[in-house]
Structure 1
Amino acid sequence: MSSTPSASNLSHLDRLWLCEAIRLREEQAGPLEDGEAIRRARQAGESLEQRIEARALLLAERDGQLAALRHWHQGARLALIALLLLALFSGAGLAFAALGDGQRPVNVFWALGSLLGLHLLTLLGWALGLLLTGDSGGALGRLWLWLSEKFARDAQAAQLAPALMLLLQRRRLARWGLGAVVHGLWLLALLAALVLLLAMLSTRRYGFVWETTILGGDSFIALTQALGALPALLGFSLPDIEQIRASGTAALAEESARQAWAGWLLGVLLVYGLLPRLLLGLFCLWRWKHGVARLHLDLAAPGYALLRERLNPPSERLGISDAAPDSLPLAHAGSHPEHADGAVLVAVELDTSRAWPPALPKGVADAGILDDREQRRRLLDQLTRFPPARLLIACDPRRSPDRGTLALLGELSRCAAVTRVWLLQAPPGEALDSQRLADWHTALEQLGLPHGCAAPLAWLETGHD
């Protein structure tokens, strides 16, 4: 599967995520056929968690969850880009709503409410959700998850979102991950508003006023100075008392008054808008990364507890046959290019009347004839531990290429760097059925295994015909 990312390139979170997705799938649809995955997982690590991860990744690659994860990541990126664009346009809208077209004086507190009102309300909602319910994703966070799943457009991706949420709930990490996204989006929106405010204040002349019917002028003076105190520490201008009082009657024509009000507005937006979102976003990101690094599987979960004996058996048991699953995955060939060495010849279900094995070149190992389940298991275990560089599988084309045989050929091929199938000639005085031989050719082509080499033993010895 060339379009599927390699399991070795997955992050720690992605590996645990796929484990949870496989566990949920087996809880809903029953145990998967995993004989090969169990055998290979036993060689993948010493701890139970490492073996569970290896088994889940093998099953995910075989059944499509690994490709679905890639699609989910693509969908998440597309959803994030859409929300980033929304944040940019929203920030621009906030700036236009605050200053208007410049034809009328700007009501400073109306402008301030346009810039920071929704931001402060959502920030308060985020804080209350964090303290009271533990849900800090907010509407933006849930919208991002929903869009990510929709953009993935993969049937297998439907199990990924609940698996991720179950995984993150153990350390309550969802609130920090979604919180980082939400604060990042708001930071971008407020930054866009700040940049556009600077551009508009640099290219147009605005007058600033404040208006009230109920409150007195002293209330506005106190509020203006209180809000401007922190920005003033950073160097932003603050209108003096006379300028504030005079702005209650009409927009001042003095250049210094305009500049003082403009600096006050920009400073308040920076201190009470951008800085809180920046600091909270960085805090959420730190908590997220710290929590993900310490995240592990819950080995006490029923689905993992059932795997303990199979992945960490106290002793090898022979002759055990599992119940046949309702459906088998489509057989496919593969390769095991890492640490492969040597050459092996093996035969599958040959007639006892045929002389076997043939005279083998030096350095070629004979794996015998596979006739029963136990022989297959032992050979697959051996090839998993010591994968050969070349594997030649001899088959009798007088037998039909049934599904079990093709599945075995595919499984054997995934234990060797290069595999070929040797379709043997019929014994003297006996002819091969042309239709059955054509069935073999078709089946092997669908499986992806080369066959019919002119000198199979020479290839097995040297690696070329």
Structure 2
Amino acid sequence: MAQPSSFLDATLTEAVRSIEETGPLEDSQAMREAAGAGTDVAHRIAQRARMLADRTGLASELARARAWAPWVLLALVAIIVIAGLSLAGNVLGGGERRINIVVALASLLGLHLFTLLLWLIGLLAPLGSFNASLGWIWMALTARVAGGQRGQAPVLLRGVTRLLGQARLLPWALGFVSHAIWSLSFAVVIAAMLFALAFRNYTLNWETTILDPDFFVRAVRWLGHGPAQLGFPVPDAQAVRSPTAAASSQRDWALWLTGCIVVYGLIPRLAFALLCAAVWRIRRNALSPDLSLPYYRKLIARFDALALPSIVDADPGSSPHPALRRLPQGDTTDTLMAVGFELPDELPWPPAALDMRGARAMRIDGSAAARRQLLDTLSQLRPRRVLVGCHAASSPDRGTERFLREVLALCGECRLWLFGTASDEARRRWHTWLADSGLDGLGAGDALEPMLQDWT
């Protein structure tokens, strides 16, 4: 039941998360490179995890585990087959050639039924019974062989079990391995028994000290109901009560015993193995980290902080922008205005150069009330020139466009100063936005002094 590389990425991601539960790893370079790996958040997180896994040795250990997994499984299967053959030999009685059918059934089906019951209960309530399953033993042995005593295979093991647990696939995945091994074991036992019973003469009977013979009559009839549906014979009451069955009845006893092993051992394990495989196919797409966990939310926030701001809330469509309106020169006064628009608190306003030119300064936070107050002031003063200072590292939007158009309509000339520290790309973004918004008629610049040379 191998998964594509996305499952391997998810395993490494969960393993890195397990490591960072004891303290964060140094990941500045990994964060920067992953931030440029596309816009998909899950892909960025997986890329970061791959880089950290390469650095910490998790990736190479996972590759070793994948290489060792089939060999460990084959070794485990070989052990189970040998155990099955040994159990079949014990049931067949060795040199005595006498088979107690009650002991045979208990030996062949007892542990199987007990572990199957634990697995079924574990589907409804996680009781920790899976830690003793053959599937868990296979995973643990693979981790031990691949990583040795000082490797990081336990971290990978936690990552895999977390993924399986989140997708509600843990009992089904481990159950598939366990049921498949049990099925192979029963197939070997049945084949060994049929071979021995076909070419050697055995005596099958039951023994008791305190039980009534009618108990065995009812038990044989009840247990034989399932095998009878498949054509296996069921010994009659007379054959059951007879302390030494006739030679003609020995064949019925042997086939009844074989039928019970097939119906109550092999068939349930095969059926549940197929069911586990079907559930795996249905739910395997859910094998991915839960990005709603606090650990991943912090990573997403860090990626957002690294991403360059982009122009938001852009007008849809390609409709032409309205023409810029401004006051005629004859309707303006000699007032000079300097407006700081949505500036961070750490940026001072107004700069000293504006104070020297006698500009009237205002600072607004972008709220509706502050904008109304500014527009009322502009409509009263009708300034000849207005300088609007915007934070260069911020992202322009439709609100910024509406504000600039409203200011320009109430003055003779408006210029835009991109204020504060920002990257060249951020400043180019503003100039591109001005052109796209039809505001390229505004004078926009990054340096204050050149913009104020002709302002008196």
TM-score of the superposition, structure 1-length normalised?
0.61
Query: Is the alpha carbon distance of 1:45 and 1:237 closer, same or farther for their aligned partners in structure 2, counting shifts above 3 Å?
Result: farther
Residue 357 of structure 2 corresponds to none
Q: How does 1:1-400 map to 2 (within 5 A)?
A: 10-35=4-29, 37-101=30-94, 103-139=96-132, 140-153=134-147, 155-246=151-242, 249-252=243-246, 254=247, 256-313=248-305, 315-316=307-308
Kept in 2, the 8 Å contact 1:102–1:205? The answer is no
The structural deviation recorded for 1:27 is 3.2
The structural deviation recorded for 1:291 is 2.5
Kept in 1, the 8 Å contact 2:32–2:306? The answer is no
Amino acid at match of 1:96: G
Distance 1:130 1:301 in 2: 25
Secondary structure at the counterpart of residue 28 of structure 1: coil
Kept in 1, the 8 Å contact 2:135–2:176? The answer is no
Secondary structure at the counterpart of residue 174 of structure 2: helix
Distance 2:207 2:252 in 1: 18
Unaligned residue ranges in structure 1 (runs of 5+)? 1-8, 318-373, 376-465
Query: Is the alpha carbon distance of 1:309 and 1:114 closer, same or farther for their aligned partners in structure 2, counting shifts above 3 Å?
Result: closer
The structural deviation recorded for 1:203 is 1.7
Amino acid at match of 1:146: A
Distance 1:226 1:232 in 2: 10
Query: Is the alpha carbon distance of 1:285 and 1:138 closer, same or farther for their aligned partners in structure 2, counting shifts above 3 Å?
Result: farther
Q: Deviations over 1:1-20 (max 9, x none)?
A: xxxxxxxx953321111111
The structural deviation recorded for 1:263 is 0.9
Amino acid at match of 2:64: H
The structural deviation recorded for 1:258 is 1.8
Distance 2:181 2:213 in 1: 37
Q: Deviations over 1:413-462 (max 9, x none)?
A: xxxxxxxxxxxxxxxxxxxxxxxxxxxxxxxxxxxxxxxxxxxxxxxxxx
Distance 2:144 2:306 in 1: 45
Residue 400 of structure 1 corresponds to none
Q: How does 1:394-413 map to 2 (within 5 A)?
A: none
Secondary structure at the counterpart of residue 106 of structure 1: strand
The structural deviation recorded for 1:270 is 0.2
Larger CA deviation: 295-304 vs 84-93: 295-304
The structural deviation recorded for 1:289 is 3.3
Distance 1:124 1:220 in 2: 24
Query: Is the alpha carbon distance of 1:183 and 1:138 closer, same or farther for their aligned partners in structure 2, counting shifts above 3 Å?
Result: farther
Bigger radius of gyration among the two: 2
Distance 1:46 1:290 in 2: 28
Larger CA deviation: 297-306 vs 47-56: 297-306
The runs of at least 4 consecutive aligned structure 1 residues that moved more than 6 Å come to none
Q: Deviations over 1:178-201 (max 9, x none)?
A: 111221221121111111111111
Distance 1:265 1:102 in 2: 20
Unaligned residue ranges in structure 2 (runs of 5+)? 310-422, 425-456
Q: Deviations over 1:53-109 (max 9, x none)?
A: 122223323442211111122343333222211210121122112111252432222
The structural deviation recorded for 1:242 is 2.4
Amino acid at match of 2:262: L
The structural deviation recorded for 1:134 is 4.9
Secondary structure at the counterpart of residue 149 of structure 1: helix
The structural deviation recorded for 1:290 is 2.5
Kept in 1, the 8 Å contact 2:99–2:203? The answer is yes
The structural deviation recorded for 1:314 is 7.7
Kept in 2, the 8 Å contact 1:136–1:178? The answer is no
Query: Is the alpha carbon distance of 1:296 and 1:153 closer, same or farther for their aligned partners in structure 2, counting shifts above 3 Å?
Result: closer
Percent identity for Structure 1 against Structure 2 = 38
Amino acid at match of 1:45: G
The structural deviation recorded for 1:299 is 1.5
